[in-house]
């Protein structure tokens, strides 16, 4: 890495000014991991943690484009929409074009984020799509009967205990859940259609049935605009001297110390929470064989 590149990377991390040498500049934002709160520690991509790096990426003086490098199996529909909407707001306010680059997977909410870009590029082997909504739970009512446990639940509101895993499944509860999923799925489809428009090649039944494709097949269906990785594509668009400036989420010294103190105070509870978070996120990734 050239000395000026090292200086610029250091400057970006600590909020300083980037040294210009006339080369086009691309702010690079990595969107990696599950979207929304995962596990009891609520880890994952969300608007609160991405607001500052996104703003820095778009508002950096002299920036020519923002590149989103996406590697996400999805997650929260709400956080996917919030992040995508914020990207579009910043792009329109600053008049900076946005390019999305998929790595291993950009599925479900990960694809929602990609649709916030003006152009989407994927690796030929990237996993793309999964435009659908899913929910999973367990049923323990037979187990607790066998071990002699009595379930005691008190609630106000007929539907407050909907889908309680310790009670037999109620068809009415399932219908309400499916209605909610249908509404969210509909909004997902509307967003993809609004962003991709006439580029899409196929009916809703084909494109929005929750299926996934490789980047190569997704290109034929109009879900992506091209195949290639970030550096090659951006150099083709902006020239060989284009400069890539990573914009990362940073935790200041005080927050690092506080976070460490909380972790030590929690003791055994901390590792248990971390374990649950990892297991939930792994479940999301494993749907795509990763």
Mean pLDDT throughout 81-91?
Answer: 97
Task: Pick the more confident residue, 90 or 170.
Answer: 90
Cβ 170 vs Cβ 137: under 8 Å: no
Give how far the C-alpha of residue 182 lies from the chain's centroid of Cα atoms, to the nearest Å.
21
Q: 155 exposed, middle or buried (CB, 10 Å; 0-12, 13-18, 19+)? A: exposed
Q: Provide the pLDDT for residue 264.
A: 42
183-214 confidence digits (pLDDT tens): 999 999 999 999 999 999 989 999 999 899 99
- Beta-carbon contacts of 57 under 8 Å, excluding residues fewer than 6 positions away, are 27, 28, 29, 63, 66, 90, 247
- The highest-confidence range among 167-171, 220-224, 265-269, by mean pLDDT, is 220-224
Kindly report the pTM of this predicted structure.
Answer: 0.76
Q: 49 exposed, middle or buried (CB, 10 Å; 0-12, 13-18, 19+)? A: middle
226-258 confidence digits (pLDDT tens): 999 999 999 999 999 999 999 986 554 444 454
H or E, element range at 224: none
Give how far the C-alpha of residue 21 lies from the chain's centroid of Cα atoms, to the nearest Å.
34
> For all residues of the chain together, what is the average pLDDT?
81
- Beta-carbon contacts of 149 under 8 Å, excluding residues fewer than 6 positions away, are none
Q: Provide the pLDDT for residue 269.
A: 45
pLDDT at residue 110 tops 90:
yes
Distance CA 69, CA 15 (A): 21
Mean pLDDT throughout 39-46?
Answer: 63
For the chain, give the percent of residues with pLDDT over 90. 54
Distance CA 235, CA 250 (A): 27
Q: How confident is the model at residue 84 (pLDDT cuts 50, 70, 90)?
A: very high
pLDDT at residue 9 tops 80:
no
- Beta-carbon contacts of 271 under 8 Å, excluding residues fewer than 6 positions away, are none
Task: Pick the more confident residue, 124 or 18.
Answer: 124
Distance CA 123, CA 73 (A): 16
Q: Which residues are catalytic?
A: 108, 160
Q: Provide the pLDDT for residue 42.
A: 47
Q: C-alpha distances in angstroms, 281 versus 39, 71, 76, 117, 240?
A: 8, 13, 12, 25, 38
Burial state string for 194-215 with b = 16 or more CB within 10 A and e = fewer than 16: ebbeeebeeeeeebbeeebbbb
Tokens of 23: 């080369």
pLDDT at residue 275 tops 60:
no
The closest of 59, 38, 60, 65 to 49, measured between CA atoms, is: 38
Domains of the chain (ranges, CATH numbers): 3-130+211-286 (3.90.226.10)
């Amino acid at each position: 890495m050239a000395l000026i590149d090292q200086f610029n990377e250091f400057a970006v991390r600590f909020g300083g000014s980037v040294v210009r040498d006339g080369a086009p500049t691309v702010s690079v934002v990595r969107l990696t991991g599950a979207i929304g709160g995962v596990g009891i520690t609520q880890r994952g991509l969300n608007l609160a943690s991405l607001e500052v790096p996104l703003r820095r990426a778009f508002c950096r003086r002299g920036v020519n484009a923002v590149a989103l490098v996406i590697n996400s199996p999805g997650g929260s529909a709400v956080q996917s929409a919030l992040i995508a909407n914020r990207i579009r707001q910043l792009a329109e306010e600053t008049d900076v074009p946005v390019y999305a680059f998929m790595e291993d997977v950009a599925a479900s909410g990960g694809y929602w984020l990609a649709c916030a870009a003006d152009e989407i590029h994927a690796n030929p082997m990237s996993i793309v799509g999964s435009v659908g909504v899913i929910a999973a739970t367990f049923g323990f009512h037979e187990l607790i009967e066998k071990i002699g446990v009595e379930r005691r639940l008190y609630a106000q509101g007929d539907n407050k205990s909907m889908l309680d895993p310790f009670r037999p499944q109620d068809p009415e509860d399932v219908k309400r859940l499916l209605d909610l999923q249908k509404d969210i799925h509909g909004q997902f489809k509307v967003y993809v259609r609004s962003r991709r428009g006439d580029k899409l090649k196929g009916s809703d039944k084909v494109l929005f049935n929750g299926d996934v494709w490789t980047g190569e097949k997704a290109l034929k269906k109009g879900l992506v605009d091209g195949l290639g990785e970030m550096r090659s594509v951006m150099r083709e668009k902006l020239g060989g001297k284009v400069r890539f400036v990573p914009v990362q989420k940073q935790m200041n010294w005080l927050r690092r110390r506080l976070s460490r103190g909380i972790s030590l105070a929690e003791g055994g509870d901390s590792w248990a929470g971390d374990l649950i978070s990892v297991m939930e996120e792994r479940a999301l990734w494993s749907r795509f064989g990763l």
